[in-house]
Structure formats: C-alpha cells, structure tokens
Amino acid sequence: MKIALLGHGTIGLGVDHILKRTGGPEVTKILSLIVDDEMAGRTASSIDDIVSDPEIGLVAEVMGGVHPAYEFISKALSAGKHVVTANKAVAAAYFAELTALAEANGVSFRYTSAAGGSIPWLMNLARAKRVNPVLALSGIVNGTCNYILTRMEEDGVPFGEALSDAQRLGFAERDPAADIDGADTLRKLVLSLNVAYDTALREETLPCAGIRNITPEDLAFGRALGLKVRMLMKGGRNEDGSVYGFAEPVFLPADSPEGCVRENMNLVSYVGTESGLQRFSGYGAGRYPTAYNLVEDILDAVSGTAVPYTGHIAPVAVRNDLLMRRYYVRTSALPEVPAHIIESTDGTAAVTRPVSPADMHRLAKLLLEKDPLLFFAGMEEGEEKC
C-alpha cells in the first residue's frame, strides 16, 4: 500500500523521515502549502490528485486546523482510503461525522497521536474499556502550558517571557491561544471521553479555562501551601451514567506525580474498575515523538490491525454539577463572588467552599466581563507522591 501526506511541516517531515528510515510504506504524493526539496517528484497538485490515485490506500493528515482538513479527510474516506491524523482540532470538531464516514466506506479513521503526542494513550483507553470500564481519566496533555508553568516556577520568569521561550523552542505556535486558553487540552479531553465512553461529545458541551492570566502572585499562593499549578483535563463517569469533563488549571501537591512533571512532558492516567490507576508519561509534542505515534497508526492500518476506538456511538448526558471541589479565585471583582461560597479571602483572592465545576465556570464567565485578568484554578489534595 502506498500513502500520501497532507502537510510537510514539522510533523509531516517527521513522518516522512521515519518511514524512510524504517522501510515503511512509500509516500508517493504530498500536498503541502510549503514545498521543500524533499518533496521533489512527489508533489500533489490538489486533494483530487490524491483521492483519484488507485495505488494510494492511506492518507496521513498533518496540516492542522479544521478547514480544509475536514474536507480533505472526508474526500479521502469517501474514496475508500484509510486516514490517520495528529490533528486534534478536526478530530474533536467532526468526531461523529468522520467516524461514521470511515465506517460507511469500510476504512479506518485513526488519531492516536492527536492526544498525548508520543504516548499511546487513546490506544490503551480503547483496549481498557473492553473489560475494564473507565471510571475516571485525567492528565497533563499540553506541553506548552507545562513548559510555561515550569519556567515561571523554577526560574521566576514572567508569563510573557516563558511563552516567548516556548515559541522559540517550537513548543508553542505563533498564535498560542489554543494552548494557553485551554482549547487544546479540551480537544484532547473530548477525544479521550469519546473513546472511553463510545460517544461523540462536542467541544462546546464541556467548559474550559486556561493559564493566560496567571501571575507570580498566584504561584506564590500555591507555594505557601506546598502546591503547584498544572493545566489538566478531568473527566469520568458519574454514578447516574452521565459523564463529566472539564479543562482547567489546578493547584495540586508539589510532590504529586502531576506536580513533578516538568517542561514539555505529559502525564495522563485513567482509573479502571479492574486495573485501578494506570499512568502513562512521555513527550506530548515534538516532530519525532508525535510522528512516531502517527507512523504506528499507519502501520496498524496497513496491516489491518483492528483498533476499536469506538463501537456503537451513543449520546450521553454531560453533568458537571455532581462533582464538588474547592477553587482559588483571584480577581478585582471579588465583591461579585457570592459570600456564601467563600471559605477564606485576603481581599484580592479567595478560596471557595466546595462548588461544582459547572457553577465555577459559570461564575467565571460572569466575572470575566468585569475583570478580564481573572485567574481561577481548582484545588486538589492527595497523598500519593512522585
């Protein structure tokens, strides 16, 4: 089977190199906005040039973004070609549509590297749920945020400088909004929940918040309590059969496994009914770590290895009002925070009594209208140490 690449940037070039080094399937056509010397003799003029080629049985999409990635993937699947992608934005936005299209055309749609980079996270979730129902999942899945927080904590640099360094090192995009505002983490949560619970959640059904407004004063608050901030995804099954899920910064013990994760590393975990806690750690981004996992998807598709990411997709209710947790809130609009939920305050920031993530995110939206510099984070306690 011959394959085509959509995109030949950071990840696409990595995929191309790994396939050449390992003697994998031959990349015969490449469609990319940026044309480089390594594409010589393989440049495709359009997506139609690829989908009409009977020798190409698989398309690897590493363009990024939602459009035209969605249209190109749809054309490939409709033409009976397997598709693998590292693009969490398009996979999360059109999960149901692309999964259904692959099934209708008897091909596979795989996205292992879209959540966790080099970590075989979604693969293990898919295996686990067969006999080990997933009760909860969580983790650090955004290396950009983790790098920024590490620099701020360990080197005392301001947010802007840490972000600039992340961009210079290739951890953050030129437009870092998806990372620092939580959307990237949210999309990986959507994919994780969809795989774990055979559903097709949309991004807009789950709340998220990011680290854009974090300050040294916020970190100092945590440090005084032996806590660090990490950008986390949190999700799981409620007792009533509904699911919960949200992405937000979290204060957690500095010596907890998540608190010990530094720089651009990721750490994800799930709790299964049979296995208990399972953890996975590795590079969550980067040319070769991500490309490696995408190539694994390519080889599985070529060999016909079944990966039951989703079975029969069924709707599921989302309820973020059943879980209760304390929150740290720092805002100039503190008088707008209902007094009955405040556990303690120094006049600038407050720690709430246990409230639901649904209520906290709802309140945060109202507070942001009066204070665009608001920062809030969940608070977790734990005994496990790294």
Residues annotated as catalytic are 188
300-312 burial, b at 16+ Cβ within 10 Å, e below that, comes to: bbbeeeebebbee
32: tokens are 């990319």
Q: Which residues contact 346 (CB under 8 A, 6 or more apart)?
A: none
**Nearest 5 degrees, angle CA 18-CA 22-CA 27?**
60
Q: How far apart are CA 370 and CA 363, in angstroms?
A: 12
DSSP H or E run through 89: helix 88-93
Amino acid in position 314: A
Q: What does the DSSP assignment read for 150-200?
A: HHHHHH---HHHHHHHHHHTTSS-SS-HHHHTSHHHHHHHHHHHHHHHT--
Whole-angstrom distance, CA of residue 158 vs CA of residue 161: 6
Tell me 325's DSSP state: B
Angle formed by the axes of helices 121-131 and 183-197, nearest 10°: 30
Q: Which residues contact 75 (CB under 8 A, 6 or more apart)?
A: 47, 48, 51
